[in-house]
Amino acid sequence: MMNPTIELDGLEVQLGGRRILQGLTGVLKSRAIGLLGPNGAGKSTLINTLLGFHAPSKGSARVFGLDSHTNGRSLRSLVGYMPENDAFISKMSGVRFVRYLAELSGLPRNQAMERAHEAFVYVGLGEARYRPVGTYSLGMKQLAKLAQAIAHGPKLLILDEPTNGMDPPARKRLIELICEIREASDICLLLSSHLLRDVEDTCDEVLILRNGRIASICNLVEERRANRKFLEMETFGAEESFTAALESLGCECAVFGNGRVKVVMPDGVEIREVFKVAADRGVQIRRMNHRRDSLEDIFLNAMEQTGVADGRI
Amino acid sequence: MAVYKRKYSPYVGSLTPERSRFFVLTRYAFADLFKSRAFVILLILALVPTLFYAGYIFLANNATAQLLLRMNGNGFAVDTEFFMVLVIVQTQVAFLLNCWVGPVLISGDLTNGALPLFLSRPFSRPEYVLGKLAVLALLLSAVTWIPGLLLFGLQSGLAADGWFWSHLWMTIPLVFCCAIWILMLSLISLAVSAWVKLRIVATGVIFISFLVPAGFGEIYNGIMGTYWGRLLNFTYLFRVMVTKGFGNPDRSAPEMPVFAAWLMMILVCVLALFVLNVRLRAREVVRG
């Protein structure tokens, strides 16, 4: 059986005498995991703990079944990390910088050089690869950080606020690149971002942190699938016979007056059949929406929860 | 992920052995150093005395050359004193070389936060320090004990039979005294480099770390009427070790017990390692 991507088991981390992460417990199995939370929620601390930079004061964190504290070295050999803050050697040329780090990951010299060139061209910095990294713009530095994170071919790519400081076209390009990397191989992704859109565009599962505790773990794929089955309609005509006919198909219906109907469709029933039922009964469908419980709603719900979460899902 | 394909593909090739990966840091650091003309000139100058020593040994062992120079063998002796002076002079040259090279080794990685990138790989902090330490250790060895041993070999080859065996013991103080000095210098430099980002300031701090404690030590000696203040004078401690190591030839006996000198140097090394341990973190933790 394949190990889950990330397993947290009562994870507690204390830094400078403060408890930053408080008893996180959860299993994240998806290939692309988003990490959300307001400032100070503990996102970066969680990433640093997964990388073995911080030792848990209680509990454990495992990545692909490897304990972040006791198997840190083996774990880090599987990881490509793009940190949130500036991380470069200013006087080194971009391609040499990536080659240097690839060699530290264990690639032989020639392969490291080859992969560094490929990674640089791949992220779109081919023309700038011989320039010192210190002369790059903020967006280019972000791309250089991505290049060094992928050059050695990791199994898990950890991206901490990857679109920070990027203009909209550059951000779009980076998100496309991340999606492309995800699709092109069996690489897993852990993306921490303040931008819900980034997470929504790239991730299948989201872990929402609040005050060092888990506020929510949500599988976006299932959420999207469930939303596709939920219809909101405005109808005109024989409302009762229309809902009765839909119920005979196995749908659950709720009528709110003025022709407003909400329908939950069972598996196997397609929208086409709803239109057919309406046409058969001479009912006009004047508006039809899928419910879009966006990530923003999920995030806001998680943030609005009152009471102290116990860190469990 | 071929360049022309512009596609991402995972790496499936072989990997280098983990235990030798620290040497990647050393290799890149040397490549950067040799790009600097100033460094190359400094290194050549540091090796120039070795040529003079070699010439001296040649003259000392060549009666014809002495005759040509009308020196008749007066003042030419290749003995313990010669090798002791060689060690003392070359270690001071090493100090200057260290002041040029040491300050930039770690600060460059810390200035723009590159350290997390190193440590997020299968690469530990001790390996990082080892990789940087190897730069200074190799470089300073190249101007101290390595030429010392080569000159010893030259003298052994040119001198009469039996010189080699009767003087072989000198190689031990030659190597060990240089080794502890190199270790101490390197660790101090790395510790300073981890604290101070500007090269010129870091170089100043290295000088200060040798001169100021020595000054305080002498003040302490003056006030207390003792010699223990000299424990803060690293150059003096090294001289004590060297003179004792080479059998204290023709010199006034050093006051300081040699074990105290060794102990102090080891203590300085431990202190420098402590500083490095504090500074070299993937993430800084703000207390409170």
Residue A137: which CATH number? 3.40.50.300
Backbone φ, ψ for residue B42 (5° rounding): -60, -40
Confidence at residue A291, expressed as pLDDT on a 0 to 100 scale: 67
CATH number at residue A243: 3.30.70.100
- For residue B253, give every residue at least 6 positions away whose Cβ sits within 8 Å of its Cβ, in sequence order, or none: none
A166 within a domain of the structure (yes/no): yes
User: Among B5-14, B82-91, B155-164, B249-258, whose mean pLDDT is lowest?
Assistant: B249-258
User: Among A74-83, A124-133, A164-173, B273-282, whose mean pLDDT is lowest?
Assistant: A164-173
CB pair distance less than 8 Å for B122 and A76 = yes
Q: Which residues of B touch A119 (CB under 8 A)?
A: 1
Confidence at residue A92, expressed as pLDDT on a 0 to 100 scale: 94
Residues A171 and A278 in one domain: no
A65 within a domain of the structure (yes/no): yes
What range does the domain containing A259 cover? 229-287
Q: Which residues of B touch A54 (CB under 8 A)?
A: 283
| Residue keyed to tokens 């903020």 | A138
Average pLDDT over residues A251-265: 85
CB pair distance less than 8 Å for A54 and B24 = no
Q: What residue type is assigned to position B249 of the chain?
A: P
Q: Taking the domains of chain B in order of start, what are their residue ranges?
A: 19-279
Smallest CA–CA separation between B106 and chain A, in Å?
11
Confidence at residue B35, expressed as pLDDT on a 0 to 100 scale: 94
Residue at a domain's end among A205, A223, A241: A223
Smallest CA–CA separation between A127 and chain B, in Å?
12
Confidence at residue B250, expressed as pLDDT on a 0 to 100 scale: 52
Q: How confident is the model at residue A308 (pLDDT cuts 50, 70, 90)?
A: very low
Confidence at residue A241, expressed as pLDDT on a 0 to 100 scale: 86
Q: H/E element holding A235?
A: strand A230-236
Query: A34-51 burial by CB neighbour count: b if 16+ within 10 A, else e?
Result: bbbbeeebbbbbbbbbbb
A298 within a domain of the structure (yes/no): no
DSSP structure string for A189-205: EEEE-S-HHHHHHH-SE
CA A20 distance to own-chain centroid: 22
Pick from A233, A232, A178: nearest CA to A200: A178
A37 within a domain of the structure (yes/no): yes
| Residue keyed to tokens 């991206």 | A159
CB pair distance less than 8 Å for B3 and A100 = no
Mean per-residue pLDDT of chain B? 90
Q: Indicate the residue of B8, B112, B286 with minimum beta-carbon distance to A86.
A: B112
Residues A14 and A114 in one domain: yes
Confidence at residue A312, expressed as pLDDT on a 0 to 100 scale: 39
Residues A24 and A125 in one domain: yes
Question: Cα(A162)–Cα(A192) distance, rounded to whole angstroms?
Answer: 8
Distances (CA, A) of A41 to A20, A49, A291: 8, 14, 29
* pLDDT tens digits for range A111-155: 999 999 999 999 988 889 999 999 999 999 999 999 999 999 999
Query: B152-173 burial by CB neighbour count: b if 16+ within 10 A, else e?
Result: bebbbeebeeebeeebeebeeb
A300 within a domain of the structure (yes/no): no
Distances (CA, A) of A102 to A125, A161, A178, B134, B287: 17, 22, 19, 20, 34
B277 has pLDDT over 60: yes
A309 within a domain of the structure (yes/no): no
Helix (H, G, I), strand (E, B) or coil at A247: helix
A311 has pLDDT over 50: no
* pLDDT tens digits for range A74-84: 999 999 999 98
Confidence at residue A132, expressed as pLDDT on a 0 to 100 scale: 95
For residues B12 and A153, is the Cβ–Cβ distance under 8 A? yes
Residues A103 and A32 in one domain: yes
Q: Closest chain B residue to A186 measured between Cα atoms?
A: B10
Residues A15 and A54 in one domain: yes
* pLDDT tens digits for range A63-76: 999 999 999 999 99
CA B269 distance to own-chain centroid: 12
CB pair distance less than 8 Å for A106 and B18 = yes
Residues A50 and A146 in one domain: yes
Pick from A113, A88, A91, A94: nearest CA to A102: A113
Q: Which residues of A touch B283 (CB under 8 A)?
A: 48, 53-54
A198 within a domain of the structure (yes/no): yes
| Residue keyed to tokens 């009562």 | A10
Residue A132: strand pairing partners: A93
Question: Cα(B267)–Cα(A257) distance, rounded to whole angstroms?
Answer: 85
Interface with chain A: mutation pick from B5, B20, B27, B121, highest number of A CBs within 10 Å: B121
Q: Indicate the residue of A18, A87, A153 with minimum beta-carbon distance to B11.
A: A153
CB pair distance less than 8 Å for B1 and A77 = no
Tokens of B17: 């052995």
Residue at a domain's end among A206, A223, A240: A223
Pick from B169, B141, B145, B143: nearest CA to B80: B169
CB pair distance less than 8 Å for A16 and B285 = yes
Q: What pTM did the predictor assign?
A: 0.85
Helix (H, G, I), strand (E, B) or coil at B136: helix
Residues A21 and A119 in one domain: yes
Smallest CA–CA separation between A312 and chain B, in Å?
27
For residues A160 and A47, is the Cβ–Cβ distance under 8 A? yes
Smallest CA–CA separation between A89 and chain B, in Å?
6
CB pair distance less than 8 Å for A185 and B6 = no
* pLDDT tens digits for range B160-213: 878 999 999 999 999 999 999 999 999 999 999 999 988 899 999 999 999 999
Roughly what angle, to the nearest 10 degrees, separates helices A271-280 and A239-248? 140
DSSP structure string for B157-214: HHSPTTHHHHHGGGHHHHHHHHHHHHHHHHHHHHHHHHH--SHHHHHHHHHHHHHHHH
Q: What residue type is assigned to position A168 of the chain?
A: P
Smallest CA–CA separation between A167 and chain B, in Å?
22
A173 class by beta-carbon count within 10 Å (0-12 exposed, 13-18 middle, 19+ buried): middle
A28 within a domain of the structure (yes/no): yes
Higher pLDDT, B57 or B249: B57
Q: How confident is the model at residue A157 (pLDDT cuts 50, 70, 90)?
A: very high
- For residue A242, give every residue at least 6 positions away whose Cβ sits within 8 Å of its Cβ, in sequence order, or none: A235, A261, A277, A278, A281, A283
CB pair distance less than 8 Å for B1 and A90 = no
Mean per-residue pLDDT of chain A? 88
Domain count for chain A, please give it.
2
Model ipTM?
0.89
Smallest CA–CA separation between A31 and chain B, in Å?
15
User: Among A7-11, A273-277, B34-38, B97-101, whose mean pLDDT is lowest?
Assistant: A273-277
